[in-house]
């Protein structure tokens, strides 16, 4: 169950030539794949490319009708290995994953595909986001393209440009940025999606390739150098297919003005942000019209030397807008110009930051610095948009506190780390090896639990060096997504083989929750196209783990008891705790529409809510420090004699009960109460409510009379 369904939108994939397509860029990529005659598609979900997998999954009936095979791969390496079909057959294939962490995983298979070369054409769609915090690694796809001699395409965030690049780019990895994928626009349909010329079911006989072109054995290394040299030459010249040429097909664009002694070279994916920045400094209007010459690199590797020399020949200085480091494109530009004996000054990281995302404000500052130094007359008479003054910015910083990401309301993973904090109070601190997933939020306040994160599914491997006799065991964390991706073999298998005596907590919430709620092998929900309901417990016991304890995460007392037992037991060998509860976000997506419909249909429904008794709450806020639930906040104390604000439960509460469990397990104040909100009550519900009101009202009136007597001296 993905966080968003594209079941309606995928019908646009059937549009034919002459019709207009309107939708998100992520859907346009799928449309372009079908128009280009793709035979098979695979991939591994990972933000920010997860929605492409969701689109493909929802479009599977359409793909099946066209004879296009779609597969959800077990990892990025498995997805890259699918491209072997294009190595041996004249079939076009496309795979997708998140970059650059996914490309790191896939690099072994990717290098083999690049070395052998493809017969039918291959496209790798990579979700690369350098600066928005979607990855702990601020790296780029560029070096992978350079080392493997594969084209790297970075299309301008424009649907026509995106679809054009996808159709022409079946020989290169391509990172569409989130700005491209979530961009909504109109684009003309060039052709109707049709069955590819060759499908997986009617594929021809294998191409009889000589051993020298396979590069799969030691003797094949002799062929690597001439293949790379030939491929590089053909990519820069007017070579025949399958080596398309950027120059022949005009994939790079010359935009803006045609004359001037200064200009801008920009990565295609940054073009829209650049135009916004140019508008801010008065160099362009709101429609992107400018007289500054712009060379838009929709193909960032390899560089087309003739185009670079032609653009820079009549210019004193050129600004290179290249996000990330090292500055690969800037270095390549300088090499090309110096070899041609052109003295055009290339300015890049001198005025633009090396790290972080190139937002409109960042590019605005860089543009101002560049033009002030090399063409001050261009911005002298310009009328830029007025940014916020420093005083206002300072006030915003002071009044708007930082809000780091955290667990969702009712998240089943929160009580796991609450239990860890309670066990730490008793046994002292212990080393916690983290993993990729929602559970990584535990390193942030209020939990502050976690030491290292080495990669997806590598939580237990990250603590393998601590498998030594010591007075305290380590705890490793792994999600069910990481478990099936890499953790089963590298983590659990390695721990069994090496007689690990430490503890692993597997967060089994039923989905690949961090990437949008996609199904897994161990998902409980039925999936019409995939096999689910494969228990993790059966898998780990099959590898030889004997100490396995399934625990409902919302049972905080049992979670604390199980963690304590795992850390102190005399039993040797690997110990695994299966922390099991369904992802609350997916559960709410499923149940809320059903509840709303039931209420509208007049059916009896019950919603559970928790609250805090204002008269009982002491204002200690230990419940917030041990939970961090977004539904827990503070409110003014109704008692004028007490200054500390009380805890309050807002209307976001989903009734998971963790706050009440914490109050009990941590022996906190008994201020939490549980209430049930009843919709469409029956006559019996109304009768019970009337009886309760009468009984409670009787005791309340009696207590009020007693207080009145004491207040006016009646008891003396």
The arithmetic mean of pLDDT across residues 4-28, rounded, is 81
- Count of helix runs (H) and strand runs (E) in the chain: 26, 24
- Helices 271-280 and 360-374: crossing angle in degrees, nearest 10, is 60
Q: Which two tokens stand for residue 159?
A: 């649907």
Q: What is residue 341's three-state secondary structure?
A: coil
Nearest CA to 13 out of 47, 64, 48 is that of 64
More confident residue, 113 or 248: 113
Q: How many CB atoms lie within 10 A of CB 80?
A: 30
pLDDT at 452 over 80: yes
Domain ranges across the chain:
9-242, 252-398, 414-586, 600-697
238 band by pLDDT with thresholds 50, 70 and 90: very low
* Residue 358 C-alpha from the chain's centroid: 19
* 152-161, 338-347, 500-509, 593-602: least confidently modelled range: 152-161
What is the DSSP code string of 497-554? HTT--SEEEEEE-SSBGGGT-B--TT-SS--SSS-----HHHHHHHTT--EEEEEETT
Give whole-number Cα distances, 699 to 425, 625, 670, 694, 703, in Å: 42, 36, 21, 9, 6
pLDDT in tens, 505-521: 999 999 888 888 888 88
Q: What's the pLDDT at 527?
A: 81
Residue that the structure tokens 């860029």 belong to = 25
Q: What's the pLDDT at 255?
A: 94
The arithmetic mean of pLDDT across residues 608-618, rounded, is 85
Q: What is residue 648's three-state secondary structure?
A: strand
Highest mean pLDDT among 558-562, 635-639, 644-648, 667-671: 558-562
CATH fold for the domain made of 600-697: Alpha-Beta Plaits (3.30.70)
- Indicate the CATH number of 9-242 among 3.40.630.30, 3.90.1720.10, 3.40.50.970, 3.40.50.280: 3.40.50.970
217 band by pLDDT with thresholds 50, 70 and 90: very low
What is the distance between the alpha carbons of residues 47 and 178, in angstroms, rounded to a whole number?
A: 9
Q: Which two tokens stand for residue 68?
A: 């296009």
Measured at the CA of 693, the angle between CA 690 and CA 695, to 5 degrees, comes to 110
What stretches of 554-686 adopt beta strand conformation (E)? Answer: 575-580, 605-612, 632-635, 646-649, 672-679
The arithmetic mean of pLDDT across residues 696-708, rounded, is 85
Residues composing the chain: 716
What is the distance between the alpha carbons of residues 67 and 41, in angstroms, rounded to a whole number?
A: 11
CATH fold for the domain made of 414-586: Rossmann fold (3.40.50)
Q: What's the pLDDT at 577?
A: 97
Q: How many CB atoms lie within 10 A of CB 16?
A: 11
pLDDT in tens, 139-168: 788 888 888 888 888 888 888 888 888 888
What is the distance between the alpha carbons of residues 331 and 80, in angstroms, rounded to a whole number?
A: 29
The arithmetic mean of pLDDT across residues 442-454, rounded, is 87
307 band by pLDDT with thresholds 50, 70 and 90: very high
What is the distance between the alpha carbons of residues 467 and 484, in angstroms, rounded to a whole number?
A: 23
* 296 and 271 Cβ atoms separated by less than 8 Å: yes
Nearest CA to 265 out of 201, 310, 226, 205 is that of 310
pLDDT at 267 over 90: yes
Q: Class of 252-398 per CATH?
A: alpha beta
Peptide bond connecting 242 to the previous residue in cis, omega within 30 degrees of 0: yes
pLDDT at 229 over 70: no
pLDDT at 2 over 90: no
The arithmetic mean of pLDDT across residues 366-394, rounded, is 79
713 band by pLDDT with thresholds 50, 70 and 90: low
pLDDT at 704 over 50: yes
Helix ranges, 375-460 (H)? 376-380, 390-399, 414-427
Residue 213 DSSP code:
G
Nearest CA to 615 out of 644, 593, 637, 587 is that of 637
Domains 9-242 and 600-697 share a fold: no
Nearest CA to 118 out of 96, 149, 144, 97 is that of 149
The arithmetic mean of pLDDT across residues 288-301, rounded, is 93
What is the distance between the alpha carbons of residues 645 and 639, in angstroms, rounded to a whole number?
A: 10
187 band by pLDDT with thresholds 50, 70 and 90: low
Terminal CA-CA length for the chain: 69
pTM of the complete model: 0.82
Give whole-number Cα distances, 440 to 454, 455, 476, 498, 506, in Å: 12, 11, 12, 26, 13
């Amino acid at each position: 169950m993905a966080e968003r369904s594209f079941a309606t939108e995928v019908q646009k994939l059937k549009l034919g030539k002459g019709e207009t397509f309107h939708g998100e860029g992520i859907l346009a990529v799928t449309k372009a794949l079908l128009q280009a005659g793709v035979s098979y598609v695979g991939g591994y979900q990972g933000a920010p490319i997860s929605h492409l997998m969701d689109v493909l999954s929802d479009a599977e009936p359409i793909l099946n009708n066209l004879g296009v095979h779609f597969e959800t791969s077990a990892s990025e390496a498995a997805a890259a290995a699918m491209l072997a079909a294009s190595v041996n057959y004249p079939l076009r294939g496309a795979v997708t994953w998140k970059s650059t962490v996914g490309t790191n995983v896939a690099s072994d298979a990717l290098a083999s595909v690049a070395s052998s070369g493809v017969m039918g054409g291959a496209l790798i769609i990579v979700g690369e986001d350098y600066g928005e915090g979607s990855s702990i690694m601020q790296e780029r796809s560029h070096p992978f393209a350079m080392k493997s001699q594969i084209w790297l395409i970075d299309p301008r965030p424009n649907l026509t440009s995106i679809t054009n690049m996808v159709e022409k780019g079946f020989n290169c990895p391509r990172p569409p940025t989130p700005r491209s994928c979530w961009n909504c626009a109109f684009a003309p349909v060039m052709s109707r999606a049709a069955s590819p010329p060759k499908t997986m079911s009617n594929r021809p006989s294998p191409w009889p390739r000589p051993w020298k072109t396979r590069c799969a054995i030691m003797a094949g290394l002799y062929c690597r150098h001439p293949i790379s040299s030939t491929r590089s030459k053909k990519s820069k010249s007017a070579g025949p297919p399958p080596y398309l040429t950027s120059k022949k097909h005009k994939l790079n664009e010359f935009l803006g003005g045609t004359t001037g002694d200064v200009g801008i070279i920009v990565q295609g994916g940054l073009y829209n942000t650049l135009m916004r920045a140019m508008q801010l400094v008065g160099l362009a209007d709101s429609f992107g019209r400018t007289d500054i010459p712009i060379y838009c690199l929709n193909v960032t590797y390899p560089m087309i030397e003739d185009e670079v020399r032609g653009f820079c020949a009549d210019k004193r200085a050129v600004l290179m807008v290249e996000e990330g480091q090292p500055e690969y494109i800037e270095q390549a530009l300088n090499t090309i110009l110096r070899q041609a004996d052109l003295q055009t000054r290339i300015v890049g990281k001198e005025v633009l930051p090396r790290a972080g995302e190139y937002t409109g404000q960042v590019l605005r500052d860089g543009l101002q610095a560049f033009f002030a130094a090399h063409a001050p007359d261009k911005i002298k008479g310009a009328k830029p948009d007025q940014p916020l003054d420093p005083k206002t910015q300072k006030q915003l910083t002071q009044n708007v506190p930082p809000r780091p990401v955290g667990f969702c309301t009712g998240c089943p993973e929160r009580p796991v780390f609450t239990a860890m904090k309670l066990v730490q109070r008793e046994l002292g601190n212990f080393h916690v090896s983290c993993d990729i997933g929602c559970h990584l939020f535990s390193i942030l306040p209020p939990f502050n639990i976690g030491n290292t994160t080495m990669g997806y599914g590598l939580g237990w491997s990250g603590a393998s060096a601590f498998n030594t006799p010591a007075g305290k065991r380590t705890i490793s964390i792994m999600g069910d997504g990481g478990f099936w991706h890499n953790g089963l073999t590298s983590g659990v298998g390695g721990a069994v083989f090496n007689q690990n005596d430490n503890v692993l907590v597997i967060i089994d919430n039923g989905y690949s929750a961090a990437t949008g709620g996609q199904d897994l092998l161990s998902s409980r929900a039925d999936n019409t196209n995939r096999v689910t309901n494969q228990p993790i417990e059966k898998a780990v016991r099959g590898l030889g783990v004997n100490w396995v304890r399934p625990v409902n995460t919302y049972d905080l007392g049992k979670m604390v008891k199980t963690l304590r037992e795992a850390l102190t037991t005399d039993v040797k060998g690997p110990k695994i705790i299966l922390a099991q509860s369904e992802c609350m976000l997916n559960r709410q997506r499923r149940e809320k529409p059903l509840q709303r419909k039931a209420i509208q249909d007049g059916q009896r429904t019950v919603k559970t809510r928790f609250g805090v008794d204002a008269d009982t709450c002491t204002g200690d806020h230990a419940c917030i420090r041990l939970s961090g639930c977004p539904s827990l906040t503070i409110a003014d104390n109704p008692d004028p004699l007490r200054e500390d604000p009380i805890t309050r439960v807002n209307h976001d509460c989903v009734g998971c009960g963790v706050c009440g469990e914490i109050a009990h397990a941590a022996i906190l104040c008994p201020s939490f109460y549980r209430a049930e909100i009843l919709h469409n009550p029956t006559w019996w519900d109304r009768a019970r409510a009337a009886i309760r009101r009468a009984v409670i009202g009787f005791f309340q009136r009696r207590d009020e009379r007693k207080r009145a007597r004491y207040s006016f001296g009646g008891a003396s």
